[in-house]
Amino acid sequence: MTIEEKYERWLNDPSVSNEDKKLLKSYTKDQINDAFYRDLEFGTAGIRGILGPGSNRLNVKIVARATVGFARYLLEVFPEAKKMGVAISHDNRLYSREFALETARVLSSFGIKSYLFDALRPTPELSFAVRKMKACGGVMITASHNPKEYNGYKVYDENGCQLVPDKIARLVEIIDSLGFELDVKLGNEKAEIVFLDSSVDEEYRKEVESIALHKELDKSKIKIVYSPQHGTSYMNAMKIFEDLGYNIIPVKEQCSPDPLFSNTKSPNPENKEAYELALKYAKENKADLILTTDPDADRVGIAFLDSKGEYRLYTGNETGALLIDYVLGERKKLGLLSKNGVLFNTIVTSSLGAKVAMSYGLSVESLLTGFKFIGDRIHHYEITKEKTFEFGYEESYGYLIKPFVRDKDSLQALVMISEMVNYHLLRGKRLDEVMEELQQKFGYHHDELYSIYFEGQEGGEKMKEIMKENRAHPFKEIGGLKVVALEDYLLLKRYEGNNVQEIRGLPTSDVLKYYLQDGSTVSIRPSGTEPKCKFYYGAVGTSSKQVMEKPKALHKAILEALHLE
């Protein structure tokens, strides 16, 4: 079916709302092309797209089609799927509640029970609910940290983990077999829709609070500014802070759920703009720490008052390394550190955290980007008993301390970061001083992420061409530094000199990772959820000044080589 044919069918179909038809009629030729040139695909975190009518937009028709596919997938995999049911939650975004209700309605038509939260809830609590209800799957309606124009649809397995590629592959096959989104037929049954209330929140919070290692610490002196960025963490977070005795200063303008994110310049903790109002609060109150979660509350970012009296932001890599050192160090003192412990990170995560973990005797496994791979690996070792999970994290501000959920969990991170900062403050140290000690011990590290956006059909083709060309003609040197090894995760091969080794234990992914002669790394990866290509730079060196300047220089060299400057 051509773009024009798809457009005309949407324009004339009686099931398409008048509101959507009015929007379709207002589209320019370029907008029509972008809205219909492809179908939204499952990426590293399910479906995510711009809201609006069309096959390449997120709307009730696309949600219904995905849910019909998920229902058929569950009925195929689980003999007791109808009885086990599916847990459903959503964030604060436009149409999130409508999409969640539609998901429940479609599942019901196939005889599958739904456990639908009575209002918005965090992503990690959805994972928790899947496990608590012993459901066969879960659906979270969220676009995570994306701008307000986006929404998304994430699917979870019976362990509360997002579907990994071998499971997604079968789901995608089923969805593709359904044909055009306006032609998809629902079932003819009617199963129960159970609404989940605050009792689930209480059980979830109890588990989150249980991760604290030193509840006895004096909390009277630490001041913490907190923002949920108009998202889902507020209710649970404030109750957890209260139970644990912290003095919290909420950024009140950003505490109410708001799909337009009216009082923040960005809901993404990776962006400096997300901290502007919180920093104002921190300066007015002389706060020690700023914590901000993204809208669906699976990620958290921090800023803190440093030893020079200035507020400083730390990246996910830096926060991760500090958390690893604190959690493993205190567990060791308390006799809680397992002898066969394992830490999970990703192939684009800083090497600093891994070095810290190994110093405590842990093994480290680097998995593909996407926390589902960490969740799936936790389940693997839960069955085999070969290793014991101690910590999991991604460079993109996602952490998991205790695996009662199988996704990154900002509520757990809020507890542990607060405790860590307080612990060090009581010993007269700010986080920058603790980080300096780590850098002196393990070498100086500085990681930066640069992204280049490629909008529309032409942009998508450009991204593919960049990866194809770079794979065919890999760099021999970058920024004057010799490439000593290359890992190609699409071919699952590692090239080092004349040696070629298989990369085992990972699924394929369109990622290239270069290892440079000084120990630094460069990774190139098209995003699985947004129209952009990501460039990860992991600088290693002997001084802070040296590593701080290196990522920018390496990125400049990459852009020149790819003719993107």
144 is catalytic: yes
Spell out the SS3 assignment of 533-552.
Answer: EEEEEEEEECCHHHHHHHHH
d(CA 291, CA 418): 9
Pairing of strands 193-196, 114-117: parallel
Contacts of 497 (CB under 8 A, 6+ apart): 484
Angle at 392 (CA atoms; ends 390, 396), nearest 5 degrees: 160
Say how far apart CA 36 and CA 345 lie, in whole Å.
37
For residues 154 and 160, what is the distance between their CA atoms, to the nearest angstrom? 11
DSSP annotation of 43: B
Tokens 């083709």 correspond to 461
Q: How many residues does the chain have?
A: 565
Instruction: Tell me which of 89, 96, 144, 351 is the catalytic residue.
Output: 144
Q: What gap in Å lies between CA 181 and CA 20, rounded to an integer?
A: 15
- C-alpha span between 41 and 526 (Å, rounded): 14
Helix (H) or strand (E) holding 32, with range, is helix 29-36
Residue whose C-alpha is closest to residue 159's, from 378, 306, 351: 378
Catalytic residues: 144
